[in-house]
Amino acid sequence: MPSSVTGAIEILNQGYEFLCSISDSDYLCSAKPHITSSIGEHTRHTLDLFHALIIQEDLTVDYNTRRRGHAVENERTIALSEIQYVINWLKQIDPILLSTAITIETEVSMNNQVFHSIPSNIEREITFAALHANHHYAMIKVIATFLEIQTCHAFGYAPTTASYLREQ
* pLDDT confidence of residue 51: 95
Q: What is the pTM of this model?
A: 0.91
Is 43 a residue whose pLDDT tops 90?
A: yes
Domain boundaries of the chain, sorted by first residue? 3-162
The CA distance from 163 to 74, in Å, is 34
CB atoms within 10 A of CB 105: 16
* pLDDT confidence of residue 125: 96
Strands (E), the chain: 60-62, 101-107, 115-121
Asked whether the beta carbons of 133 and 46 are under 8 A apart, the reply is yes
Which one of 2.30.110.10, 1.10.1740.10, 1.20.120.450, 2.40.170.20 gives the CATH number of domain 3-162?
Answer: 1.20.120.450
Residue range 23-47: mean pLDDT, rounded: 93
pLDDT (tens digit per residue) in 102-143: 999 988 767 877 778 999 999 999 999 999 999 999 999 999
Q: pLDDT exceeding 90 applies to what percent of the chain? A: 70
- The SS3 of residue 104 is strand
